Chain A
Amino acid sequence: MAEKAPGVLAVIHHGNAPTLYRPDNDFMSASKPGEARVVFEDDRVHYSGQYVAIIVAETLEQARYAAELVQVSYAVEDPTIETDAALDSAYLPDEFFGEKLTTTRGDPDVALSRAAVTHAATYTTPIEHHNPIEPSASVAVWNGDELTLYETTQWVAGARKTVAQTLGMPEEKIHIVSPFIGGGFGCKGFVWPHSILSAVAAKRVNRPVKLNLTRKHMFSACGHRSETKQYVQLGAERNGRLVAIDHDTVVQTSMVDEFVEACGNTSRFLYSCPNVRVRHRAVRVNVATPTPMRAPGENPGLFALESALDELAYLLNMDPVELRIVNHADVNEQARRPWSSKYLKECYRMGAERFGWAKRAPQPGSMRDGNVLVGWGMATATYPGIRSPGAAKVRLLQDGHVDVVSATQDMGGGTYTTMAQIAADVMGIAIERIRTVLGDSLLPPAPVSGGSMTTASILPATRKAAQDALSKLRHLAATMPASPFTNRRPDDIVAEGGRVFPKGAHPSSGLPYEDVLKRTNQTEIEGEGYTEPGPERDKYAFQSFGAQFVEVRVDPEIAKVQISRVVSAFDVGKIVNAKTARSQGYSGVVMGVGVALMEHTVYDSRDGSIITSNLADYAIPVNADTRSIDILFVDKPDPFIDSDGLGARGLGEITVTGVAPAVANAVYHATGRRIRDLPITPDKLL
């Protein structure tokens, strides 16, 4: 019936789809589908929301109408939806992006049994969805055997390779374009079926096809964060020194791939502790495959660990900040390496001072404003200082403009701005003269815009490319006959501040950059920059740190929590741009408020349907949910993160990591109620 509906051009399903191939499922080789199973691979349905057919029609309305006419018959089987129902079959996954998921250092059992003070509790976090306001979309355009995909991807290079392998095409025949992204948070990092389907559909109907995910699809077709159940045991001496940490996590993964929310990995090194066991178990359930979501692992993992630390502080009758300072890890004890740079104590100090932490009365319920209970809580924030190989080019044009290009992406975090800023700094010209072009697989290769790695990976390459352009400009100047540079070697020529001039001479004796091009009949000069991490990675541990302080005002009679103040202090190396950095901070805090107070996806346990798949039933924070947000930075360069002296680590993800535990700790301080199950909704505070 659907095929005969008005305007319908094609109905594609497993029975008539072209042959598709499972691509390499390997992040490190830049081929990474969101889900290993290829769309329309067979007639098995593994979860609610899985694609069973795609309709192409002249208009969106016609396609939607025809989709309703598709008849699907199922042989129904009993699904497994809830973690508890699958616990018996829980297994130990091996690795998460190269990190072992189960490790033991020392003997935590003995240490726990002998510890003067112990704390043990289970912390749970719900399924969450990224929900960028821009839904994922793909426009496929074929030109002969060449394919252009206009995408909403955080990784054009990954998309190109993954799509090529899935379609069985040479990579060179595929062009991915993704110049702007309206938020991603991880759900646009890997290649999800819609990108394959738009290409298949466009081929089938022999014209361009646009495929937009609806908000409902955004809940089933591009990943989510698994729910987590984390059993945390801490052992400490009376003076607060940790003697044991045991962090045991159970997460969900799908029937068709494996993604593990690595909650415990941070617990191995965040504090100094001789006996640490981290274990992750996964259960397979009939839901779509989880995927990275802003600070995968750290976000729910720190909710558990930092809540547990707060509980331990009360058992010890110790200030929560002091407890963390007592257990400060001077080196990474898991990797057995010194930190490249670490100013966590400075974060505690700066944050506490701005917040006014010294005035905190420790007793729960002891700080009041009329009938309102005031609670102050804090948590440590952390995220790795990841860096990847990356390339950029800087082109100086005859009209004086400069193009900065790279296949990196901007999700709204400010990559366009910071790249232009770096190039402008190196070249000594106004930023208005710089045009940045990103998000195109034809440009110099760059890593995924994920893992907070863009700043450390792409800005050094940009700097190098700008320096290379100036070097080439000096060489070009040296070839100019009858010029101020006659008989000068390139080394005796200076290019800075927009002018080329003889070394030792006044800049005014030389020429503007563009005049060198004009007078040598060159249309442009292209500087190339490629940088990659080196042996420093084996010498140092690269990690960002922070401290987040939260004030809540709880109206206990009506179970209402207002987050009135958040102060965050971060050590993320050198700050390249204070404004874009602060904005990342604000966004992480707002997202953290969502994690703390409201975000949770509900699957009907009978069939795995997502029954809250819209932005009314899945609440994310509105303006009224946050009030004052302060973002502070230590702003000291990391001397080893890059060899170019930039010293900047990324800060996309760390900003969210400590918010939820700080809120939960503040709620406890206000009310004496310890909420170990996120989100902290009114029903839990009655």
Chain B
Amino acid sequence: MHPFSYEKVTNEHEALERARLGKATFVAGGTTLVDLMKLNVEVPTALVDINGLPLNQIEDRSDGSIRIGALVRNGDLAHDSRIQSRYRVLSQAILAGASAQLRNMATTGGNLMQRTRCYYFRDPVYPCNKRQPGAGCAAMDGYNRIHAILGASDTCIATHPSDMAVALVALDASVHIRAANGERVVPIMEFHLLPGDTPDRETVIRPGELITYVTLPSGPFGPRSAYVKLRDRASYEFALASAAVALQLEGTTVRSARVALGGVATKPWRALEAEQVLTGAAANKATFLNAADAALTGAVPRRHNAYKIELAKRAVVRALADALTH
């Protein structure tokens, strides 16, 4: 652990000002950042504590959307009655992640900034292109049971670990980003980046920018959505594979659908191919199996993670069945 400065701020202006002036890193719940600082994976010289900013409300908007402050704790978000009734998949996804204690600390904005659980990323002894561009990837030919089968590149096969973000992808959420010169709104699908040649760049956030809100559009899915997470133990464990789905039905036909995958891809993964299979098809097991196949069409396994292709399909089918019968 390296020496660093620490400062609390109480408004956005102060926060952005600190970020503009120096190499400041924002800290909120600290559940990822502090961990990685202890491991010397993150070595910020200045921490700016943003917990004092007024970004901890969940608000109904006049257009039917919901605006979630970046500092809303994961636990509060999952247990909010509006989220539970209108965005079931999001509540389920959050509650499938971490532990109650961590969820009480972790924030909405911070969750989007979670970093990978790749063993080699978390141990500075190993080369890692994400940690140090150009250094190489120890996971590629190492032990890669937990690594990505979708969205990987020659430089990185690390999975994105978030559950919440997978549900947000299925719900087509938007991320509000504030910079000193104004605000921009980024669709969640564009928020996280594929590793490509720059696995060190994980999101569109630029230095000095701050996530302020996440908005959920008033979707047509109502409660017909579900999150299924498959893992090595019953709770408090990252996904080997997970699926967030939402269905809009017209009689027994799928009018529209959303399918997103977690635990198998380098970013929270929207499976548009699966959605195409579902749209207009009969809402039944056969369709769901086809959709699952479509979702994994582009999967590329490594030495230890070929099982994830089948496991992810199972998660998709189960999540769709759950959303259908809910």
Contact = CB atoms under 8 A, between A and B. Distances in A.
Interface stretch (A202-210, A305-313, A618-626): A618-626
Given A65-B1, A558-B315, A683-B311, A604 B142 contact: yes
A559 B311 contact: yes
A611 B236 contact: no
B120 interface: yes
B52 to A, nearest CB: 25
Q: Tell me if B's interface is mostly helix, strand, loop or mixed.
A: loop
A598 interface: yes
A57 to B, nearest CB: 12
B182 interface: no
Nearest to A623: B235
B240 A682 contact: yes
A558 B228 contact: yes
A605 B142 CA distance: 8
Contacts of B40: 68
A148 interface: no
A621 B123 contact: no
B312 to A, nearest CB: 11
B143 interface: yes
B191 interface: no
A683 B2 contact: no
Contact of A611 (B1, B143, B237): B143
Contacts of A602: 119, 143
Interface string A555-592: 00111101000000000000000000000000000000
A565 to B, nearest CB: 15
Interface of B: 1-3, 40, 117, 119-120, 123, 125-126, 138, 142-143, 145, 228, 230-238, 240, 307-308, 310-311, 314-315, 317-318
Contacts of A616: 117, 238
Contact of A617 (B119, B235, B307): B119
A606 B127 CA distance: 13
B230 A682 contact: yes
A597 B231 CA distance: 11
B232 A559 contact: no
Given A612-B119, A683-B307, A598 B314 contact: no
Given A602-B143, A683-B307, 6 more contacts: A65-B1, A557-B318, A558-B230, A611-B120, A625-B235, A679-B232
23 contacts: A64-B1, A65-B1, A65-B2, A68-B40, A558-B230, A562-B234, A609-B125, A611-B119, A611-B123, A611-B142, A612-B119, A619-B232, A619-B233, A619-B237, A622-B233, A624-B234, A625-B235, A682-B231, A682-B232, A683-B145, A683-B307, A686-B307, A686-B310
A681 to B, nearest CB: 5
Contact of B117 (A61, A598, A617, A679): A617
Interface in A517-548: none
Q: Tell me if A's interface is mostly helix, strand, loop or mixed.
A: loop
B293 to A, nearest CB: 15
Contacts of A559: 230, 311, 314
A623 B120 CA distance: 29
Interface centre among A597, A623, A681 (most CB of B within 10 A): A681
Q: Which 10 A-B pairs have the closest CB atoms?
A: A624-B234, A683-B307, A611-B119, A624-B235, A625-B234, A686-B310, A619-B233, A558-B314, A622-B235, A598-B232
Given A65-B2, A622-B234, A683 B120 contact: no
A133 to B, nearest CB: 14
Interface residues of A, number: 31
Nearest to B99: A622
Contacts of B232: 597-598, 619, 679, 681-682
A669 to B, nearest CB: 21
Nearest to B231: A682
Nearest to A615: B236
Contacts of A598: 232-233
Nearest to A68: B40
B317 A597 contact: no
A47 B178 CA distance: 49
Contacts of A625: 233-235
Contacts of A612: 119
Interface in A593-635: 597-598, 602, 604-606, 609, 611-612, 616-617, 619, 621-625
Interface string A329-343: 000000000000000
Given A558-B228, A559-B314, A604-B142, A683 B240 contact: yes
Given A65-B3, A68-B40, A597 B307 contact: no
Nearest to A603: B143
Contacts of A560: 230
Nearest to A620: B233
Contacts of B123: 609, 611
B148 to A, nearest CB: 15
B51 to A, nearest CB: 22
Contacts of A604: 138, 142-143
Contacts of A621: 233
Contacts of A65: 1-3
B233 A597 contact: yes
Nearest to A556: B314
A302 B310 CA distance: 32
A61 B1 contact: yes
Contacts of B1: 61, 64-65
A622 B238 CA distance: 13
B248 to A, nearest CB: 24
Contacts of B125: 609
B7 to A, nearest CB: 18
B296 to A, nearest CB: 13
Given A558-B315, A609-B123, A682-B230, A622 B236 contact: yes
A322 to B, nearest CB: 33
Nearest to B319: A558
A594 to B, nearest CB: 9
A469 to B, nearest CB: 48
A305 B104 CA distance: 46
Contacts of A64: 1
A558 B318 contact: yes
A395 to B, nearest CB: 44
Given A65-B1, A682-B240, A682-B311, A557 B317 contact: yes
Nearest to B143: A602
A616 B99 CA distance: 11
A372 to B, nearest CB: 13
Nearest to A593: B233
Nearest to A560: B230
Contacts of B3: 65
A611 B138 CA distance: 11
B220 to A, nearest CB: 27
A316 to B, nearest CB: 33
A64 B1 CA distance: 6
Nearest to A6: B3
